[in-house]
Amino acid sequence: YRMKSLASGEVAIYDSLGQSVHLTHGGIVIQGAGLPITIHGDIKLNGSLDATGDVTAAGVSLMNHLTAGVKAGADQSGKPIRT
């Protein structure tokens, strides 16, 4: 595996599995080659997050969570329930 077509001034690190970090003129592209990407430590995001799959926080799925205390009408439901 070797990265091809790097533009002038772009930089990339890669391995034989297809994992890579590519610093492009349009942004940073990280490829996990089907393997998980693990970050240790806190993440501070100044901007939007666009996810194509589900997002889970403290065991609560953003797409599939249940909520406690659901009532009819204009009342608000309770907090999400961990699944």
Q: What is the 3-state secondary structure (H, E, C) of 19-69?
A: CEEEEECCEEEEECCCCCCCCCCCCCCCCCCCCCCCCEECCEECCCCEECC
User: For residue 34, what are the CA distances in angstroms to 6, 30, 70?
Assistant: 22, 12, 39
Question: Which residues pair with residue 56 across a beta bridge?
Answer: 61
Q: What is the mean pLDDT of residues 2-19?
A: 92
Per-residue confidence (pLDDT) for residue 33, from 0 to 100: 95
For 25-64, what is each residue's pLDDT tens digit? 999 999 999 999 999 999 999 999 999 999 998 888 888 8
